[in-house]
Structure 1
Amino acid sequence: MSTIRYRWLAVIGLAAGLVGWAANSFLTANGYPAPVLSPVALVAIILVTGATLFLGLRVRSWRNGRRDRELDPIAAARTVVLAQALAYAGALLLGWHAAVFLTQLPLWSLRPGHPATWSSLAVSAGGILMIAAGLTVERFCKLPPEDKDGTGPGSGDGAGDGGEYA
């Protein structure tokens, strides 16, 4: 399994930004509201991010030597995949909503307190949170290079280039 590619996060964010900018420009020019998620979506973002962090902390505690229970390798692999999906989804949300925010910002003087502007800013912050949590949990799931078999003391931060996943 490969690690998250920062370049792909940037490409996904930029592509989503371009599509979000085009969609927002088209829709607002034709009298439709801005295509943003509602602030209620932040609840889902926070719940999914929190669940991913919780699962990642369980893997990290096992990796760091608390091995009173056996770590299910399938659960650890699912945690890595969830962390990667969270980061990529965060890049998508960040790109789209940041573009919508930037296109709505010049209209601020015409419509102060516009809910779509605040909502796009809030979901953009949620996207940043998702990316950060995904990258962090992926790092939690890496074994240190000297502990590739998972039986050693588990010292180290797991940030080595040669580390494998727990």
Structure 2
Amino acid sequence: MKLTNPLLLLAIAVVLAVAGWFATVMAGRYSLATPVLPLTGLLTMGVIVVLTLVLGIRVLRWRNGKKKKILNPILAAWTLVLAQACAYTGTVLLGWHAGIVIEQLRLWNLRSNQDITWQALAMAGGGLIMVVVGLVVERFCRIPPEDGDAESGHEVQGKRNKPSAEGEYAYRSD
């Protein structure tokens, strides 16, 4: 599985910031409510972040050799998928609410109710925390190359060589 590309996350955040800004402009033009998530969403985001961190720390401890018990490979894969989902979800929330904040700041002095701006800013901050935790836990799930792989010559610049005719296969024929 490939690592999450931070430039892709940045592009998604920018696109969603524009979408959030446009949605806020249109909501204001038609006297609709600002499309911001309620602050109770921060509680859900916090639970996801804590769960991702706890599972990521379990994988990191196993990877660093601090646990003698075997790690379930399915749990490790789920942790990686959860970390990537956390990063993408945080990017979406960060971008959307950053667009709302940008539009709200334009008329900051004229607004009597500035709670929406603070609410959108809090949600954008929660999204940023989700992105950071997702990327960090994703790095926790990387397995370092084994010492034997580099010495045996099976791997050259990240690509595996085909076995030669002399019997260099992944199984033993004893």
Same fold (TM over 0.5): yes
How many residues of Structure 1 are paired with residues of Structure 2 in the alignment?
151
The answer to whether structure 1 residue 37 and structure 2 residue 37 are counterparts is yes
Which amino acid is 1:45 matched to?
A: M
Q: Which runs of 4+ in 1 moved over 2 A?
A: 145-149
Per the alignment, residue 146 of structure 2 pairs with 146
Which amino acid is 1:17 matched to?
A: A
Deviations 1:81-112 (A, max 9, x none): 10001001111110000010010012221224
Report how far residue 4 of structure 1 moved. 0.3
The answer to whether structure 1 residue 79 and structure 2 residue 79 are counterparts is yes
Based on CA coordinates, which of the two structures has the bigger radius of gyration?
2
Report how far residue 13 of structure 1 moved. 0.5
Equivalent positions of 1:1-166 (< 5 A) are: 1-146=1-146
Matched-pair identity in %:
44
Residues 101-110 or 117-126, more deviating: 101-110
Q: Which runs of 5+ in 2 are unaligned?
A: 150-156, 159-174
Secondary structure of the structure 2 residue equivalent to 1:145 = coil
Q: TM-score, normalised by structure 2?
A: 0.82
Report how far residue 7 of structure 1 moved. 1.7
Deviations 1:102-140 (A, max 9, x none): 100122212245221011000000011000000110011
Tell me: CA distance 1:129–1:86, structure 2 relative to 1, closer, same or farther (3 Å): same
Which amino acid is 1:56 matched to?
A: G
Q: TM-score, normalised by structure 1?
A: 0.85
Which amino acid is 2:59 matched to?
A: V
Report how far residue 42 of structure 1 moved. 0.6
In structure 1, what is the Cα distance between the partners aligned to 2:34 and 2:100?
7
Residues 106-115 or 67-76, more deviating: 106-115
Per the alignment, residue 152 of structure 1 pairs with none
